[in-house]
């Protein structure tokens, strides 16, 4: 079973939206599993402190290396082969290609950062892979980890309604998806493009490819060679 272990200060945020819809069904059918562990269980002292002020000064707080390493070592066996991701706006951007790799593997361990960041030594010492879901700053890694899990879980075999719907979508062919239409044939004076009703499948395929290329050129020229 594809399994996810999440280390977080807010375990109550899981499974959250992943408990419903496609991913929720797959969770109850045992296609994947989710375990959310509280980093604070490994905090220091009566107040279970997990963070401290940054060495060298500056704003915010930093998650302690010893606390996070202890949480990780207690929850994830040393011989566990799952990639260990640290959600962070500083990470490498998540791509559909990386999502596909993760979905094909045994699962993931995801650490959700909060505050200014985590002590660099635990990133090095435990081989954490920093991953960002985009160039904006969230208040913590929890929502980013839900995004990452959603993207992976829908690719697991038996999760998506129609297996084919995985390969025709945006990014899988390096382009954005072409526009879709359904009934009614005319809506508020807007008609479905004639070509889609022509029954000429070669022509339709060509039109869709052109539309994909046009949209990608207009919106995401960075995706083109």
Strand stretches in 140-189, DSSP E = 186-187
Among the listed residues 88, 119, 156, 178, the single contact to ligand ADE using CB under 6 A: 88
For ligand ADE, the closer of residues 149 and 159 by Cβ is 149
Q: Which run of H or of E encompasses 173? A: none
- Shortest distance, position 5 Cβ to ligand ADE, whole Å: 17
Among the listed residues 89, 154, 177, 192, the single contact to ligand ADE using CB under 6 A: 89
Instruction: Write the Ramachandran bin of 120: left for phi over 0, alpha for psi from -120 to 50, otherwise beta.
Output: alpha
Q: Which run of H or of E encompasses 62? A: strand 62-63
Distance from C-alpha of 48 to C-alpha of 39, rounded to nearest angstrom: 10
For ligand ADE, the closer of residues 130 and 177 by Cβ is 130
For the segment 111-150, give every residue that binds ligand ADE (CB under 6 A).
Answer: 113, 132-134, 136-138, 141, 144
- Shortest distance, position 7 Cβ to ligand ADE, whole Å: 14
Under the criterion CB under 6 A, does residue 8 sit at the interface with ligand ADE? no
- Shortest distance, position 23 Cβ to ligand ADE, whole Å: 19
Residue 50 CA to chain centroid, in angstroms? 25
The residues near 162 (Cβ < 8 Å, ≥ 6 apart) are: none
> Which residues in this chain contact ligand ADE in the complex, by CB under 6 A?
87-89, 113, 132-134, 136-138, 141, 144
């Amino acid at each position: 079973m594809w399994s996810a272990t999440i280390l977080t200060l807010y375990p109550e945020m899981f499974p959250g939206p992943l408990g419903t819809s496609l991913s929720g069904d797959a969770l109850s059918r045992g296609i994947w599993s989710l375990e959310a562990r509280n980093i604070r269980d490994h905090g220091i002292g009566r107040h279970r402190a997990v963070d401290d002020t940054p060495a060298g000064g500056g704003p915010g707080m930093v998650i302690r290396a010893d606390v996070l390493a202890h949480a990780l070592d207690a929850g994830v066996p040393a011989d566990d082969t799952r990639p260990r991701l640290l959600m962070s706006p500083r990470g490498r951007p998540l791509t559909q290609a990386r999502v596909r790799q993760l979905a094909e593997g045994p699962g993931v361990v995801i650490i959700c950062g909060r505050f200014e960041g985590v002590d660099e030594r635990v990133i090095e010492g435990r081989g954490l892979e920093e991953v960002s879901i985009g160039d904006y700053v969230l208040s913590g890694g929890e929502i980013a980890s839900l995004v990452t899990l959603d993207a992976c879980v829908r690719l697991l075999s038996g999760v998506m309604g129609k297996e084919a719907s995985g390969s025709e979508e945006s990014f899988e062919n390096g382009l954005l998806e072409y526009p879709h239409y359904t009934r009614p044939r005319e809506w508020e004076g807007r008609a479905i493009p004639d070509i889609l009703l022509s029954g000429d499948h070669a022509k339709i395929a060509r039109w869709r490819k052109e539309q994909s290329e046009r949209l990608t050129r207009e919106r995401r020229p960075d995706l083109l060679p």
